[in-house]
Amino acid sequence: MFQRWRGTVSKRLNEIIARNQKDHKISLSVFVTTGYPALDDTFPILSALAECGVDFIELGIPFSDPIDDGPVIQEASPAFPNSNFVDGVFQSHLP
């Protein structure tokens, strides 16, 4: 599924960084945990960030053991026992 974006994503990121450097602007990157605080909140949050001009949005997908993440991401990443959670995010909210 993500194979088609492999080269495109890194190319687009490099273009954004280069444009911002040329314009002497700082790039803003935001991390969002999918499904936090609720699954239905994810798409409105992403939309609002895009409308505000965020350059990069990293979409975190919670997993059952976020021990390697810092305390803030651990708090926002409760275990989701439903194995269809990730499929539900992409099918329900993303074009």
Active site positions, annotated: 58, 69
- Helix or strand holding residue 33 (H, E): strand 29-33
User: What 3-state class would DSSP assign to 12?
Assistant: helix
**Is residue 71 reached through a cis peptide bond, with omega within 30 degrees of 0 on the bond before it?**
no
Residue 77 tokens read as: 């990443």
